[in-house]
Chains A and B, each alone.
Chain A
Amino acid sequence: MSAILAVRGLQKTFGSVVAARDINVAVPPLQTVGIIGANGAGKTTFVNMITGHLRPSKGTIVFCDRDITGRPSREITRLGIARSFQIPQIFQSLSVFENMCAATAIAHAAGGLPAQLLTPWRAPGSLRQAEAALELFRIARYRDTPAATLPQGVRKLLDIAMAVAGSPRLLLLDEPTSGITIEEKFELMDVVMSALKDRGITVLFVEHDMDIVARYADRVLAFYDGAVIADGSPAQALADPRIQELISGPQLKPATRSAGHA
């Protein structure tokens, strides 16, 4: 089975900080990969390089047999890689529905600026798709709420729903459950995973909570200091006491897990 995403010798340095060192990963289609690691381990940097937000210092990224290393993010998006953000990137001055409409309208106007000029903003097809997406992600009751006033969990879901509007083949979620309560985390992941089900999307998600990783991931990548130190099934990875120690941090400072945001 050929990989949908293949990363070879990926490296990223910020001055003297090494945020990614020699990362080699191949992800087969339809796998759900959990990415774990302490704050500052390089998880976001990894996501940023794959999605074109950061240019790698070294190495190659191949998506569907096409080299996408260093391509601009909008081009990578059009090729079929979408993402959500640790801090949700939504349009603050629009309502939830208008946010969703923006995403579906862009998806309907495929073909760049000329198509965007000729496609109506309120085309029935994209409006219907926007309504359906709000239902699918269970945020339809916030339809007319201004995005600036949304609770964190809804912001996260809207961010993900917008990312999925373009029917990506690969979806990267950067800490989809950060900043919400433990009970809500499972709820949110249930909504997201059932919305993505049967759509043929390969998912990589960054997550701090081991229980969530164990429940939703087929495979775990453990990051430490810019390197992948473990790559295997969740059971394997989570049973390894060395990983427990490095990822979750020594048990003496449990507070950092909920307080820190990169």
Chain B
Amino acid sequence: MAPRSIVIGMLAFLLAAAVAPALPTWLVSLATVAFANALVVLGLVILWRAGLVPFGQALYYAVGAYSVALITRYSGVRDVLAMLAAAAALSGLVGYLTGFLLARYREIFFSMLSLALSMILYGVLVKTETLGSTDGFHVDSPTYFGAAPQGGMRLLVLFWLVLACCSLSALLVSLYFRSVAGALAIPARDSEIRLEFLGVSVNRLIHLNLVIAATLAGIGGALAAIAVEHVDPDMSYWTTSGGFVFVTILAGAGSVAAAFVGSLLFELLKSIAYDVLPGTWQIFLGAVLLLTILFLPGGIGSLFMRRRRPEPAS
């Protein structure tokens, strides 16, 4: 039994893949980066449900990005799936290790600790010559099952890959939210004591969510690095993390789909603002965030989410 929202979501990804060849290059290019970043936002949505807002999620984004960059620089591996798998594994591992610390903190302490960890990585990247220091370095194009598409095809194939990663992640996260473990995030935010006295370890639950979010961020970073063919320390900087939080507020933590719609909307707004108000685009984005918080506190997700009521057993 596939719930309707999952089917609709998967059809939307298929539709996007089908119309992509007819779309202007700038739009495909924008959507590629938007959807790569949406994976990070999806991770933030998972944490947000548990009441956690990381100000340093760019840490795992950068770990994923630098993983693929280093693979292309120091090894002969060019296969895109191998590169993504390595990025996912490494960012997941970093998420697991930092999780032992982060899972014990809540609220602003969690947020600031996450920020602190990301700034440590930033410092390391900036100072390390072999990692390209502040300039970063170039990322070679990967191959797709042995093929190396050229010209316009290269962007299109990458976009399809991003869509495949997004639809698979969206599907798995939707299933996760429907499991007992995934659904317990909201109760964990309300009363940890009650959960502990129902036999649940809230710290382990949050640790799991941290690993999932870190892995998603790593895959997003890897795809973004492949898309822009470059990595630099700014990918781990706090403004990057702040951008992800911005999109999460814009999207709202209500649904999986909102992460993708929100991220696309954010990139569109940013590029429009950049064109129309070259010097003052930050003002425009700030105003959008302000209006979202004032008039749409549930984010975009609250617009197309029907109020969910628990249905009795069928």
A residues bordering B, Cβ < 8 Å? 51, 53, 72-75, 77-78, 82-83, 85, 89-95, 97-98, 101-103, 105-109, 112-113, 115-122, 124, 127-128, 131, 144, 159, 162-163, 165-166
Q: Which residues of B contact A113 (CB under 8 A)?
A: 181, 201, 204-205, 208
Tell me, in angstroms, the Cα distance from A163 to B198 when the chains sit together. 7
Q: Chain A interface: which of B81-89, B128-136, B305-313?
A: B305-313
Tell me, in angstroms, the Cα distance from A56 to B59 when the chains sit together. 41
Q: Does B73 contact A (CB under 8 A)?
A: no
Report which of A74, A163, A165 forms a contact with B201, defined as CB distance below 8 A. A74
Tell me, in angstroms, the Cα distance from A109 to B200 when the chains sit together. 10
Q: A91-B187, A102-B187, A122-B178 are in contact. List 18 more A-B contacts (CB 8 A).
A: A74-B196, A89-B191, A89-B197, A91-B186, A92-B191, A93-B186, A97-B310, A101-B310, A113-B181, A116-B184, A116-B200, A117-B176, A117-B179, A121-B178, A121-B180, A127-B310, A162-B198, A165-B198
B181 pairs with A117, CB closer than 8 A = yes
B residues bordering A, Cβ < 8 Å? 176, 178-184, 186-187, 189-191, 193-201, 204-205, 208, 309-314
Report which of A77, A94, A118 forms a contact with B179, defined as CB distance below 8 A. A118
Q: Which residues of A contact B310 (CB under 8 A)?
A: 95, 97-98, 101, 122, 127
Given the known A-B contacts A90-B191, A94-B190, A113-B204, are A103 and B180 also in contact in the complex, defined by CB atoms under 8 Å?
A: no
B197 pairs with A74, CB closer than 8 A = yes
Q: Which residues of B contact A115 (CB under 8 A)?
A: 180
A105 pairs with B193, CB closer than 8 A = no
Tell me, in angstroms, the Cα distance from A116 to B191 when the chains sit together. 18
Report which of A77, A85, A121, A144 forms a contact with B199, defined as CB distance below 8 A. A77
B186 pairs with A127, CB closer than 8 A = no
B179 pairs with A121, CB closer than 8 A = yes
Tell me, in angstroms, the Cα distance from A77 to B199 when the chains sit together. 5
Tell me, in angstroms, the Cα distance from A163 to B194 when the chains sit together. 9
Tell me, in angstroms, the Cα distance from A74 to B201 when the chains sit together. 7
Report which of B181, B182, B184, B197 forms a contact with A51, defined as CB distance below 8 A. B197
A121 pairs with B183, CB closer than 8 A = yes
CB distance from A76 to the nearest CB of B (A): 9
Q: Which residues of A contact B189 (CB under 8 A)?
A: 93
B191 pairs with A91, CB closer than 8 A = yes
CB distance from A50 to the nearest CB of B (A): 12
Residue on A nearest B204 in the bound complex, by CB: A113
Given the known A-B contacts A77-B199, A124-B314, are A90 and B182 also in contact in the complex, defined by CB atoms under 8 Å?
A: no
A119 pairs with B197, CB closer than 8 A = no
Tell me, in angstroms, the Cα distance from A120 to B313 when the chains sit together. 12
Q: Which residues of B contact A121 (CB under 8 A)?
A: 178-180, 182-183
